[in-house]
Structure 1
Amino acid sequence: MNNSYWLNTAPPFTAPTVELPAHTEMVILGAGIMGCALAYWLARAGKTPLVLERNAHPAGGATGRNGGLHVAGPGGAPYHRWADRAAARAIMQLTLRNRELLEEILEREAIQANYKRVGFMHLAQAHEAAELKALAQALNEDGFAAHWLERAEAEKKLGTSLGERYLGAVLKPDDGQFHSARYAFGVAEAARNLGARLAFSTPAQAVEPGPGGRSWLIHTPRGQCVAEQVIIALNAWAGELFPELTQTIAPTRGHIILTAPVNFTLTPWEANDDWDYGRQLETGQILLGGRRNTQPDLDLGCAPAPGENAPPLEPSVVEALAQIAPQLFPALKDVPIVQAWSGAMAFTSDWQPLAGQWPGRAGLWVLAGFSGHGMPFSLVLPQAIAAQLTGTAGEAIPSAFAPERFLKA
């Protein structure tokens, strides 16, 4: 069974039937965390957005199948390798603002998402040590917390012994972790309480210019709806409705395994040139993800079958994750693997998302392509898009995220 821990352990989500209006101001396509958060911010601004989601609950795609981590910083190239350091700094600051918003919203809306600041460790093999030390130095130069730890210090912070190939780590002390589905369910419920309309089991089947060319006509199995503004928050599924996006956003398979509980505490980490990552759950189980580098083309283009929420599991990747676990942490030797699941990420060629208005298409917006790094933007970018939609002041969206990089008028 390809079921994620997050969705298996989230509380039931009640989804009352929502009548489709013939006309509405704003429609959000997708109820992953981006769509739910955008609905939340719009509803807080007094709007009544309509969210269309093909599943019977939020977080059916990548949101409910990820690692449950909030790791600050830009995706793609490491911070110190960005040619435009000012751009990297701005993105880093945006993710730190996202963390502030996350902590604020979890408290304000009483969302029980098991959130904690626990830190995050970048484990170093010999060939990675110089690069990771340079990463820590660059972060420090720009005023961000990061520390190089020699092996003994790293093991003390980590909570267990490292495999022999690892000689230290960079610690970012303020990164966090949470229960992905509880987080998304809570934001969705808060949005609904504020007046957003969430229509589940209602997939958008087609979107085309509406009457007069100044609106958009959305087709669903339950009827049609005309909207003045449409926001695409479908991530890996965006190309199904908008074929132009298939040249820009590639569905990409990821795998995660889950061990039986262990009797030690483990700080979240990534390792092996950033191909592998993991964390510990409240149950004591260890979650490990990665090994995409063992697959042809890194599983780029490996999409879910129509109507499915994830690509099929690849047994060789599950086995590769099981094999790497004790190489990372010898204490995991002989600890059984009890669960595995896959998910569909959405990668762009530069690993940066698309966030903003579709050039030349008035009223059409894109919020997708997060390249496996969406959670650190999951509130701040929807808030920024909501500000643009409502004509209010908001965070500036980095030019590195501009849809114009790929989409032309």
Structure 2
Amino acid sequence: MSLPHPQGMSSFWRKDPLPLDNHRSTPHLPAESDLVIVGGGYSAGALVTHILAEYPDHPSILVLEARQLCSGATGRNGGHLKPDPYSHAGALANEHGLAAGQEVAAFENANLVAVKKYIEQENVDCDLVVTRGCDVHFKEEQVAQAKKALQMMNSGDAFQTCKNVEQVSGVKNARGCVTFTAGHLWPSKLIHHMFRQAIAQGVNVQTHTSVQSLTRLPDGRWSLLTSRGTVIARQVVMATNAYTAALLPEYHEQIIPYRAVSCRIVTPGKAPLLTNTYSLRFTDWDFDYLIPRPDGSIIVGGARSAYCQKKDAWYGNADDSGVIEETRRYFDGYMQRHFIGWEESNAHVDDIWTGIMGYSRDKLPRIGPIPHRDGLFIMAGWTGHGMPQIFLAAKGMAEMVVGGKPYSQTGLPRLFEETPDRMKAPNKVLEGWSKAKL
């Protein structure tokens, strides 16, 4: 499996350089650290934030990032801070029981509240907007399924199936829509703020330092061979998401690199004002998401139908140096095609980029101690849905890594715990692809 591509393409969020992009707290790599976090995205930033807040006598912390800070999935996603209170949670309830589904739904809602509180308390300049998310469904069977899930989850969210649902949602050919509280923000600005605070409190951050291998030493510590030398650590947290298997072979086909695409659409002409975020759910496996930016532009991600059939284009593909070409045509005329009143807007793609998500085999995050690897922890496998999960997941991780708590005492959803049994789960990513091919 691949390490991060050395020449990953840029994204809208990272067009302008940020001061910590190439930061190295010390000129040379320290020989030892109590705790090493591999990865420099949202997981790592949130983890150091909670460790510093909860544990004043924290161990020494070293963060190793293979490229620029926040240059992976966090710096390339859509900035969509959107819980899923009924669709994914309902599917989990059907498979694992109602309590398990409700637990995940409540956890994601709590994340949105916690992130908002953190940003307001810290006065973080990251364009946070809390609004309504609008899930749009286009087929009657989807509408029936959504109704059933909402009833099962006992959700109080708004559901529209009236004959004027197109006008309510603003989306052509809509047959139903669900609205609920959601948000959006500038992801890399949030993460850079977290790391600025961490560095000021003594956390050592080393960018452009790729970890090549991990070795367990006779004394129980871990040796990390990097592109700039070797570091010895008592504990290691793998915040590596799609790249986990490159260092831990047992995660091959467990956390799968999944290449995806987002774009920025600008609207020089007149167009209706969008205040909601959106998910356009064409089928169970094919959906796009949109966020309206404060500058008037729109971030759109998805386009699965354009490239899904070409498995090598996305499955196990960690090359973010170029865009999936089929998606360029997909996004042309996107707003005019799907949204009422946008026909004369001249909306067009201004920027398009690729990012590598880490899809978990069972489509659930992998959090906690790694089985049979004492001192090694994982916080990865977000399956394209990390924005409404990572912040409070990091709080639980801090309690395990530094506080010594067992997973069961952290308050994290039971389904997210890494266990040996999860390694044997069916590959739902491939199962979904097989259905999409039919």
The normalised TM-score by structure 2 is 0.83
In structure 1, what is the Cα distance between the partners aligned to 2:34 and 2:130? 38
* Post-superposition offset of 1:53: 0.5
Does the Cα contact within 8 Å between 1:235 and 1:368 map onto a contact in 2? yes
**How far apart in 1 are the matches of 2:397 and 2:272?**
42
1:198 paired residue number: 205
Deviating beyond 3 angstroms after TM superposition, the runs of 4 or more aligned structure 1 residues are 9-12, 73-78, 150-158, 297-300, 330-334, 392-395, 405-408
Count of residues paired in the alignment: 395
Unaligned runs of 5+ in 2: 1-7, 425-438
Aligned-residue RMSD, C-alpha: 2.4
Give, in whole Å, the separation in 1 of the partners of 2:143 and 2:150.
Answer: 11
**Residues 278-302 of structure 1: CA deviation (Å, up to 9, x unaligned):** 1111111122111223322665424
Amino acid of the structure 1 residue aligned with 2:299? L
Paired residue type of 1:378 = I
Shift in CA distance, 311/222, structure 1 to aligned 2, threshold 3 Å: closer
Which residues in structure 2 correspond to 1:40-119 (within 5 Å)?
40-44=49-53, 45-46=55-56, 47=58, 48-56=60-68, 58-73=69-84, 77-79=88-90, 82-83=93-94, 84-119=97-132
CA contact (8 A) 1:256 1:318 kept: no
Question: How far apart in 2 are the matches of 1:9 and 1:93?
Answer: 36
Native 8 Å contact 1:136 1:170 kept in 2: no
Pair 1:359-2:340 in alignment: no
1:369-384 → structure 2 map (5 Å cutoff): 369-384=381-396
Q: 1:342 to 1:74 in 2, by over 3 A?
A: farther
Instruction: State how far apart, in whole Å, the 1-side matches of 2:168 and 2:197 are.
Output: 36
Aligned to 1:230: 236
Is residue 39–residue 51 contact of structure 1 (8 Å, CA) maintained in 2? no
Q: Is 2:409 the counterpart of 1:397?
A: no
Deviation at 1:108, TM superposition (A): 2.6
Q: What is the CA distance between 1:331 and its match in structure 2?
A: 3.6
Alignment match of 1:170 (pick from 151, 159, 178): 178
Partner in structure 2 of residue 31 of structure 1: 40
Q: Distance in 2 between matches of 1:75 and 1:228?
A: 41
1:169 alignment partner AA: C
**3-state SS, counterpart of residue 176 of structure 1:** strand
In the alignment, structure 1 residue 132 sits paired with structure 2 residue 146: yes
1:276-315 pair list within 5 angstroms: 276-294=288-306, 295-296=308-309, 299-305=313-319, 310=320, 312-315=322-325
Given residue 33 of structure 1, which amino acid in structure 2 is its aligned partner? Answer: Y
Aligned partner of 2:120: which letter?
E
CA offsets per residue over residues 339-394 of structure 1, 9 Å max, x none? Answer: 11111001122210100101111000111111000011121011101001122666
Describe the shift of the 1:179–1:285 C-alpha distance in structure 2 as closer, same or farther (beyond 3 A). Answer: same
| Equivalent in the alignment of 1:344 | 356
- Give 5+ residue unaligned stretches, structure 1: none
Moved more, 315-324 or 231-240: 315-324
Q: CA deviation at 1:74?
A: 7.0
Q: Is the partner of 1:375 in helix, strand or coil? A: coil
**TM-score for the superposition, normalised by structure 1:** 0.89
Q: Structure 1 CA distance, aligned partners of 2:242 and 2:91?
A: 28
Q: What's the offset of the Cα at 1:81? A: 5.9
Distance in structure 2 (CA, Å) of the matches to 1:351 and 1:110:
34
2:35 partner letter: M
Judge conservation of contact 1:260–1:335 (CA < 8 Å) in 2: yes
